[in-house]
Amino acid sequence: MALNVVFAGGDRVGLIVRGKSSHEDDPSVFAQHADCILSTGAPVGFFGAGNTGSSGGGSSGIGASSRSSASFSNSSGMGMTGVVYDQAGLARNRANYVDLAVARATKTVSTVLLVQVSAAEAALFDGAWQDMTKDPGSFQLLGWNCSTHASQAFRKAGILSAGIPGLDTPNNLYKQLCVEKRGKLSVASGYIGFSSFGSGYMLTVEPVAP
Protein backbone atom coordinates (compact mmCIF):
# COMPACT_ATOMS: atom_id res chain seq x y z
CA MET A 1 0.00 0.00 0.00
CA ALA A 2 1.30 3.44 -0.95
CA LEU A 3 2.33 5.86 1.79
CA ASN A 4 0.94 9.41 1.55
CA VAL A 5 2.58 12.20 3.55
CA VAL A 6 1.02 15.67 3.61
CA PHE A 7 3.29 18.62 4.42
CA ALA A 8 1.50 21.56 5.97
CA GLY A 9 2.97 22.44 9.36
CA GLY A 10 6.59 23.24 8.49
CA ASP A 11 7.78 20.65 11.01
CA ARG A 12 9.80 18.35 8.76
CA VAL A 13 12.11 18.38 5.76
CA GLY A 14 13.59 15.53 3.78
CA LEU A 15 16.43 13.97 1.86
CA ILE A 16 15.79 11.75 -1.16
CA VAL A 17 18.47 9.34 -2.34
CA ARG A 18 17.74 8.23 -5.88
CA GLY A 19 18.92 4.74 -6.73
CA LYS A 20 18.77 3.62 -3.08
CA SER A 21 16.27 0.76 -2.92
CA SER A 22 15.97 0.48 0.87
CA HIS A 23 17.30 1.84 4.14
CA GLU A 24 20.01 -0.85 4.11
CA ASP A 25 20.96 -0.51 0.43
CA ASP A 26 24.38 0.96 -0.28
CA PRO A 27 24.30 1.94 -3.99
CA SER A 28 27.46 2.52 -5.98
CA VAL A 29 28.62 6.12 -6.32
CA PHE A 30 27.39 6.49 -9.90
CA ALA A 31 23.98 4.98 -9.15
CA GLN A 32 22.77 7.64 -6.70
CA HIS A 33 21.61 11.25 -6.62
CA ALA A 34 20.43 13.53 -3.80
CA ASP A 35 17.33 15.72 -3.82
CA CYS A 36 15.64 17.41 -0.88
CA ILE A 37 12.12 18.10 0.31
CA LEU A 38 11.31 21.56 1.64
CA SER A 39 9.10 22.07 4.66
CA THR A 40 6.17 22.68 2.28
CA GLY A 41 6.68 19.23 0.78
CA ALA A 42 8.04 20.69 -2.46
CA PRO A 43 10.94 18.77 -4.03
CA VAL A 44 14.15 20.60 -4.90
CA GLY A 45 17.55 19.53 -6.14
CA PHE A 46 20.92 20.70 -7.43
CA PHE A 47 22.22 19.56 -10.82
CA GLY A 48 25.04 20.31 -13.26
CA ALA A 49 24.26 21.72 -16.71
CA GLY A 50 26.31 22.71 -19.73
CA ASN A 51 29.09 20.16 -19.41
CA THR A 52 31.35 21.05 -22.33
CA GLY A 53 32.78 17.54 -22.39
CA SER A 54 29.42 15.86 -22.69
CA SER A 55 28.22 14.38 -25.94
CA GLY A 56 24.62 14.58 -24.83
CA GLY A 57 24.29 17.94 -23.08
CA GLY A 58 21.47 18.20 -20.60
CA SER A 59 22.08 18.18 -16.88
CA SER A 60 23.28 15.70 -14.33
CA GLY A 61 23.32 14.86 -10.67
CA ILE A 62 25.93 12.43 -9.44
CA GLY A 63 25.07 9.10 -10.98
CA ALA A 64 23.31 6.83 -13.38
CA SER A 65 19.87 7.64 -12.06
CA SER A 66 19.97 10.85 -14.08
CA ARG A 67 19.24 10.67 -17.78
CA SER A 68 22.51 12.26 -18.86
CA SER A 69 24.88 10.21 -16.74
CA ALA A 70 26.99 9.59 -19.87
CA SER A 71 28.43 13.07 -19.37
CA PHE A 72 30.50 11.82 -16.45
CA SER A 73 32.19 9.14 -18.50
CA ASN A 74 33.17 11.86 -20.99
CA SER A 75 34.46 14.61 -18.72
CA SER A 76 34.42 13.63 -15.06
CA GLY A 77 31.72 16.17 -14.22
CA MET A 78 33.94 19.24 -14.62
CA GLY A 79 33.19 22.54 -16.31
CA MET A 80 29.51 22.48 -15.45
CA THR A 81 27.18 25.27 -14.37
CA GLY A 82 25.01 24.57 -11.35
CA VAL A 83 21.24 24.77 -11.53
CA VAL A 84 18.53 24.26 -8.92
CA TYR A 85 15.32 22.56 -10.07
CA ASP A 86 12.12 23.18 -8.15
CA GLN A 87 8.94 21.16 -8.65
CA ALA A 88 8.32 22.67 -12.10
CA GLY A 89 11.94 22.26 -13.17
CA LEU A 90 12.01 18.65 -12.04
CA ALA A 91 8.74 17.97 -13.87
CA ARG A 92 10.31 19.27 -17.09
CA ASN A 93 13.76 17.74 -16.73
CA ARG A 94 13.39 14.77 -14.34
CA ALA A 95 9.76 13.68 -14.56
CA ASN A 96 10.72 10.30 -13.11
CA TYR A 97 11.74 12.09 -9.91
CA VAL A 98 8.38 13.73 -9.22
CA ASP A 99 5.72 11.87 -11.25
CA LEU A 100 4.71 8.58 -9.67
CA ALA A 101 3.53 7.02 -12.94
CA VAL A 102 6.78 7.93 -14.70
CA ALA A 103 8.85 6.68 -11.77
CA ARG A 104 7.01 3.38 -11.90
CA ALA A 105 7.35 3.07 -15.68
CA THR A 106 11.08 3.83 -15.61
CA LYS A 107 11.69 1.81 -12.44
CA THR A 108 13.19 4.83 -10.70
CA VAL A 109 13.49 3.70 -7.09
CA SER A 110 14.27 6.15 -4.30
CA THR A 111 14.57 6.18 -0.52
CA VAL A 112 13.09 9.12 1.37
CA LEU A 113 14.42 10.19 4.77
CA LEU A 114 12.09 12.62 6.56
CA VAL A 115 13.56 14.63 9.44
CA GLN A 116 11.55 16.26 12.23
CA VAL A 117 12.69 19.88 12.65
CA SER A 118 11.71 23.04 14.48
CA ALA A 119 9.89 25.88 12.73
CA ALA A 120 13.11 27.91 12.79
CA GLU A 121 15.13 25.08 11.25
CA ALA A 122 12.47 24.56 8.57
CA ALA A 123 12.53 28.24 7.62
CA LEU A 124 16.34 28.30 7.45
CA PHE A 125 16.42 25.12 5.36
CA ASP A 126 13.91 26.53 2.86
CA GLY A 127 15.83 29.81 2.82
CA ALA A 128 19.11 28.04 2.06
CA TRP A 129 17.56 26.51 -1.05
CA GLN A 130 16.10 29.86 -2.08
CA ASP A 131 19.59 31.35 -1.85
CA MET A 132 21.03 28.50 -3.92
CA THR A 133 18.35 28.99 -6.55
CA LYS A 134 19.40 32.63 -6.95
CA ASP A 135 23.11 31.80 -7.06
CA PRO A 136 23.71 28.08 -7.65
CA GLY A 137 27.36 28.43 -8.60
CA SER A 138 29.23 25.66 -10.37
CA PHE A 139 28.94 21.89 -10.30
CA GLN A 140 31.83 19.48 -9.80
CA LEU A 141 31.37 15.75 -9.45
CA LEU A 142 33.89 15.48 -6.64
CA GLY A 143 33.31 17.76 -3.67
CA TRP A 144 30.75 20.23 -5.04
CA ASN A 145 27.89 18.09 -6.26
CA CYS A 146 24.23 17.42 -5.47
CA SER A 147 24.98 15.95 -2.04
CA THR A 148 27.39 18.78 -1.16
CA HIS A 149 24.66 21.34 -1.78
CA ALA A 150 22.05 19.33 0.10
CA SER A 151 24.48 19.07 3.03
CA GLN A 152 25.02 22.82 2.89
CA ALA A 153 21.27 23.41 3.33
CA PHE A 154 21.08 21.03 6.29
CA ARG A 155 24.06 22.75 7.93
CA LYS A 156 22.82 26.30 7.32
CA ALA A 157 19.57 25.29 9.00
CA GLY A 158 21.44 23.87 12.01
CA ILE A 159 20.04 20.40 11.33
CA LEU A 160 23.52 18.95 10.82
CA SER A 161 26.64 20.05 12.65
CA ALA A 162 29.31 19.34 10.02
CA GLY A 163 30.01 18.36 6.44
CA ILE A 164 29.56 14.86 5.03
CA PRO A 165 32.00 12.34 6.52
CA GLY A 166 34.17 10.84 3.81
CA LEU A 167 33.32 11.24 0.14
CA ASP A 168 30.48 13.64 -0.66
CA THR A 169 27.82 11.16 -1.79
CA PRO A 170 24.06 11.13 -1.24
CA ASN A 171 24.24 7.89 0.73
CA ASN A 172 26.97 9.20 3.04
CA LEU A 173 24.77 12.24 3.74
CA TYR A 174 21.89 9.86 4.41
CA LYS A 175 24.00 7.90 6.89
CA GLN A 176 25.12 11.09 8.61
CA LEU A 177 21.52 12.20 9.11
CA CYS A 178 20.66 8.77 10.49
CA VAL A 179 23.38 9.16 13.13
CA GLU A 180 22.89 12.82 14.07
CA LYS A 181 19.08 12.88 13.96
CA ARG A 182 18.37 9.46 15.45
CA GLY A 183 14.87 9.34 16.90
CA LYS A 184 13.62 12.13 14.63
CA LEU A 185 13.49 10.21 11.36
CA SER A 186 11.09 8.23 9.20
CA VAL A 187 12.05 6.24 6.11
CA ALA A 188 10.19 4.99 3.04
CA SER A 189 11.44 3.42 -0.20
CA GLY A 190 9.88 2.83 -3.59
CA TYR A 191 8.51 4.85 -6.50
CA ILE A 192 7.75 8.41 -5.46
CA GLY A 193 5.63 11.30 -6.67
CA PHE A 194 4.58 14.76 -5.56
CA SER A 195 1.19 16.41 -5.94
CA SER A 196 -0.25 19.75 -4.81
CA PHE A 197 -2.25 19.53 -1.60
CA GLY A 198 -3.72 22.65 -0.01
CA SER A 199 -0.97 25.19 0.52
CA GLY A 200 1.74 22.54 0.23
CA TYR A 201 2.42 19.17 -1.33
CA MET A 202 1.68 15.54 -0.72
CA LEU A 203 4.46 12.99 -1.09
CA THR A 204 3.44 9.52 -2.25
CA VAL A 205 5.76 6.54 -1.89
CA GLU A 206 4.66 3.33 -3.60
CA PRO A 207 6.53 0.19 -2.51
CA VAL A 208 8.16 -1.83 -5.26
CA ALA A 209 6.36 -5.12 -5.83
CA PRO A 210 8.55 -8.14 -4.96
Angle at 101 between CA 95 and CA 105, to 5 degrees: 90
Per-residue model confidence (pLDDT) at position 141: 61
Residue 54: pLDDT over 90 = no
Confidence of residue 30 (pLDDT cuts 50, 70, 90): confident
Percent of the chain with pLDDT over 70: 83
Q: What is the mean pLDDT of residues 125-147?
A: 83
Residue 60: pLDDT over 90 = no
Per-residue model confidence (pLDDT) at position 140: 63
Helical pair 146-156 and 119-134, crossing angle rounded to 10 deg: 140
Per-residue model confidence (pLDDT) at position 9: 81
Per-residue model confidence (pLDDT) at position 50: 56
CA atoms within 13 A on the CB side of 82: 22
Q: What share of the chain is helix, strand, coil (3-state, %, to 5)?
A: 30, 30, 40
